[in-house]
């Protein structure tokens, strides 16, 4: 299914590019998946920042920016207004209700950017902060599953500690049992000694 979609031609649409240095451009982009021209435009494989449902647009940036890429100076509308560390250009593209790219113009973006949009608030009353989706090259190359491995190690450590506790409890039980056996043996020895003394006394009396 995915291979079929990758082979299909996508529409050629108008998109907006927010250049890192502050310029804004409207360009024509062929969205055919196999061409992957968005990656060429952004300078690398792209990732989603988020979307503005009100105007049906998604925001994209390069996933792993290079050191040479400057911070993007454009101020975004909430809930992305707190993102001030995005590196490189930002692609603004409209996607319709069926997930198909559609035309989006520079004028539409300018009107939207001029609107007074309140910050999104969390249930606790704090401003909801968007997360920068970009990562460093080192983070990109970090093997998947490391976090899971760490969790597994923690679980193993916990099981090991539980085993140690069980062994300590068993040792305590064994020690208590030994003490009880010793006590019983002492009692038997005492009883035997008493019986012997009685026999000797009986013999003398006789």
pTM, 2 dp:
0.64
Nearest to 32 by CA among 13, 56, 47: 13
- Distance from C-alpha of 134 to C-alpha of 76, rounded to nearest angstrom: 16
Cβ burial of 175 (10 Å; 0-12, 13-18, 19+) is exposed
Maximum C-alpha span of the chain = 130
Q: Which two tokens stand for residue 136?
A: 């460093």
User: 3-class DSSP state for residue 117?
Assistant: coil
pLDDT tens for each residue of 126-169: 556 688 999 877 776 665 444 444 444 445 545 545 555 555 66
pLDDT tens for each residue of 36-46: 999 999 999 99
User: 3-class DSSP state for residue 100?
Assistant: coil
Place of tokens 């060429």: 40
Q: List, in sequence order, every residue forming a beta bridge with 91; answer none if it has no partner.
A: 17, 60
């Amino acid at each position: 299914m995915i291979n079929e979609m990758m082979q299909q031609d996508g529409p050629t649409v108008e998109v907006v590019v927010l250049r890192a240095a502050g310029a804004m451009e409207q360009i024509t982009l062929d969205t055919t998946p196999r061409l992957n021209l968005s990656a060429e435009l952004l300078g690398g494989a792209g990732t989603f920042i988020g979307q503005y449902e009100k105007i049906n647009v998604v925001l994209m940036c390069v996933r792993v920016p290079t050191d040479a890429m400057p911070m993007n100076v454009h101020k975004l509308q909430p809930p992305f207004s707190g993102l001030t560390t995005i590196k490189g250009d930002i692609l603004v593209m409209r996607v319709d209700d069926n997930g198909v790219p559609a035309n989006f113009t520079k004028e539409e973006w300018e009107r939207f950017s001029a609107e007074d949009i309140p910050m999104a608030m969390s249930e606790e009353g704090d401003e909801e902060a968007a997360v920068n989706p970009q990562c460093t090259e080192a983070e990109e190359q970090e093997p998947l599953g490391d976090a899971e491995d760490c969790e597994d190690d923690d679980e193993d450590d916990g099981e090991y500690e539980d085993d140690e506790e069980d062994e300590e409890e068993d040792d305590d039980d064994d020690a208590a049992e030994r003490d009880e056996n010793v006590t019983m043996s002492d009692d038997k020895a005492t009883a035997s000694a008493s019986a012997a003394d009685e026999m000797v006394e009986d013999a003398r009396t006789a």
